[in-house]
């Protein structure tokens, strides 16, 4: 079991770690242009916020596809694997098309909510209008990643992701350095890289004999399957939007405490982001394996997998805690050489020591819930954790503890997510086995 977990985990970890490289390269190439680099960096930062919100919101496409596919794989139901892919890819292309059609309205709404100088907003809009054309490819790739993961194959998504990221970097440099297209060049780089990645993905899809079947419209649009597909995606969407709200709430409250605190908290959050890149690799493995054993109706192997993956990630969280304690202050230098900011970070750095041991449970159980398509439970856990813990606790503590109160509220939110995930698991997934609802 441990071998199987690591087989699925390491490609996902590599995939996750390569993702931030694009943002680093974007900033690097624009940071060295001759013509007002701050203007173009600000423009793609604003545009990046918009796309982060859009694609995070539609991440349910990957999650639900992974869950439904892995369950069908566990049942050896090739027909359902085929139609799961079709339903998901049609949905991705439909949503991608809508995003392009309504791009002007989305852009106007985005800059109604975001603030920047008129010149920054103008350049950012141009960046948005170019990059949004990649929406069908980006969302389709999300589905394809989830589908292959559901088939217990993490290497193909890793290969596609690496190709996309490398091409993105190459085109960034070409368009910005050689053609002086600046932020537009970064957008074109992303656009071409996404469609190039889709071509590579189609190459791998063509090798899957399971996809070469006649399409039965009645099966494709079977009411019971469509209702479950929409229900799961709806609940994952609500869960994801609530999570985005939690991160935005933390950032917004940090800003209200002053620019220095905003800078400090943004830097310290990078420790959480980095840890999540590692842990999510195991969470993705949990998705694939939980779905497979859930689909098979094999409670024993599902429990064995969960116990094993929790042991592994608990050990990793302890290792990261030790690393953060020993090297945390040295790592700060990577993000800034400003002594004042480093000193301020040092005043709150003890919070990052708690990140690994408090957060790993919520990350892993997210994977388990996705694999077993317990989206309603995921939704409820997130709603309770955000609106029952994070928000009220912050307002109770803010006048007494300031930024420490904000961090305490945020870590309480993460702890509640993990604890409730464990409790809800007993009442949802295990209950399904007891009541013989797995079919």
Q: How far is CA 377 from CA 166, 358, 371, 381, 421, in A?
A: 38, 20, 13, 6, 8
Residues 126 and 61 in one domain: yes
> Which of 178, 195, 221 is where one domain is finished?
221
Query: Which residues 6+ apart lie within 8 Å of 317 measured at CB?
Result: 275, 279, 356, 357, 359, 360
Residues 342 and 381 in one domain: yes
Residues 406 and 279 in one domain: yes
Cα separation of 89 and 67, whole Å? 15
pLDDT over 70 (residue 272): yes
Residues 379 and 341 in one domain: yes
pLDDT over 70 (residue 167): yes
Which pLDDT value is given to residue 285? 92
pLDDT band at 439 (very low <50, low <70, confident <90, very high): very low
pLDDT tens digits for 104-115?
A: 999 999 888 776
Query: Could you identify the residue written with the tokens 């813990």?
Result: 389
pLDDT tens digits for 383-414?
A: 999 999 999 999 999 888 889 999 999 999 99
Whether 316 maps to a domain, the answer reads yes
pLDDT over 80 (residue 21): no
DSSP secondary structure of 241-295: HHHHHHHHHHHHHHHHT-HHHHHHHHHHHHHHHHHHHHHHHHHHHHHHHHHHHHH
pLDDT tens digits for 303-318?
A: 899 999 999 999 999 9
Which pLDDT value is given to residue 47? 82
Which residue range(s) make up the domain with 80?
A: 11-221
Residues 97 and 122 in one domain: yes
Identify the three-state secondary structure at position 75: coil
Nearest Cα to 271, choosing from 340, 315, 334, 338? 334
Angle at 101 between CA 100 and CA 105, to 5 degrees: 95
Whether 3 maps to a domain, the answer reads no
More confident residue, 274 or 142: 142
Which pLDDT value is given to residue 430? 67
Residues 331 and 438 in one domain: yes
Whether 269 maps to a domain, the answer reads yes
pLDDT tens digits for 28-68?
A: 677 667 677 777 877 787 888 888 889 888 989 999 999 99
Residues 18 and 158 in one domain: yes
Q: Which two tokens stand for residue 360?
A: 């790993």
Residues 281 and 417 in one domain: yes
> Which of 163, 197, 221 is where one domain is finished?
221
pLDDT (average), residues 78-98: 94
Alpha-helical runs (H) found in 102-154: 103-113, 118-131, 135-150
Which pLDDT value is given to residue 101? 96
Q: Tally the domains of the chain.
A: 2
Cα separation of 80 and 219, whole Å? 9
Residues 237 and 274 in one domain: yes
pLDDT (average), residues 154-179: 91
Which pLDDT value is given to residue 391? 95
Q: How far is CA 206 from CA 94, 139, 199, in A?
A: 22, 19, 11
Where does residue 197 rank: exposed (0-12), middle (13-18), buried (19+ CB within 10 A)?
buried
Residues 303 and 425 in one domain: yes
For the chain, what percent of residues have pLDDT higher than 90?
Answer: 51
Cα separation of 323 and 196, whole Å? 38
> Which of 169, 195, 221 is where one domain is finished?
221
pLDDT tens digits for 95-147?
A: 999 999 999 999 999 888 776 678 888 888 999 999 999 999 999 999 999 99
Residues 217 and 259 in one domain: no
């Amino acid at each position: 079991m441990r071998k199987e977990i690591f087989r699925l985990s390491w490609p996902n970890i590599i995939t996750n770690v390569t993702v931030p490289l694009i943002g680093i390269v974007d900033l690097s190439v624009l940071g060295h242009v001759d013509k007002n680099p701050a203007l173009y960096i600000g423009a793609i930062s604003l545009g990046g916020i918009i796309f982060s919100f859009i694609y995070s919101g539609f991440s349910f496409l990957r999650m639900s596809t992974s869950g439904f596919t892995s369950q069908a794989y566990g049942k050896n139901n090739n027909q359902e694997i085929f139609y799961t892919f079709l339903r998901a890819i049609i949905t991705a292309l439909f949503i991608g098309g809508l995003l392009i059609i309504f791009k002007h309205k989305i852009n106007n709404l985005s800059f109604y909510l975001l603030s920047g100088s008129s010149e920054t907003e103008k350049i950012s809009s141009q960046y948005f209008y170019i990059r949004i054309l990649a929406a069908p490819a980006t969302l389709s790739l999300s589905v394809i990643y989830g589908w292959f993961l559901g088939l217990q194959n993490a290497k193909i998504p890793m290969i596609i992701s690496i190709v996309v990221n490398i091409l993105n970097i190459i085109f960034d440099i070409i368009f910005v350095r050689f053609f002086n297209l600046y932020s537009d060049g970064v957008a074109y780089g992303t656009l071409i890289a996404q469609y190039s990645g889709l071509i590579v993905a189609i190459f791998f899809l063509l090798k899957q004999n399971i996809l070469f079947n006649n399409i039965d419209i009645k099966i494709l649009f079977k009411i019971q399957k469509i209702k479950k597909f929409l229900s799961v995606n709806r609940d994952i969407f609500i869960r994801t939007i609530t999570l985005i709200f939690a991160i935005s709430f933390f950032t917004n409250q940090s800003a209200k405490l002053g620019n220095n605190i905003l800078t400090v908290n943004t830097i310290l959050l990078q420790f959480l982001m980095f840890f999540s890149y590692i842990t999510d690799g195991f969470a993705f493995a949990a998705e694939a394996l939980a779905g497979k054993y859930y689909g098979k109706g094999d409670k024993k192997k599902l429990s064995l997998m969960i116990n094993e993956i929790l042991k592994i990630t608990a050990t990793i969280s302890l290792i990261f805690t030790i690393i953060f304690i020993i090297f945390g202050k040295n790592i700060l230098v990577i993000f800034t050489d400003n002594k004042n900011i480093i000193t301020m970070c040092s005043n709150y750095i003890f919070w990052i020591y708690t990140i690994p041991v408090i957060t790993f449970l919520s990350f892993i159980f997210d994977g388990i819930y996705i694999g077993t398509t317990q989206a309603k439970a995921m939704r409820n856990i997130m709603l309770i954790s955000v609106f029952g813990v994070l928000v009220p606790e912050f307002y109770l503590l803010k006048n007494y503890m300031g930024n420490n109160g904000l961090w305490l509220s945020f870590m309480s939110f993460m702890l509640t997510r993990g604890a409730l995930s464990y409790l809800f698991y007993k009442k949802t997934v295990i209950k399904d086995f007891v009541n013989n609802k797995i079919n």
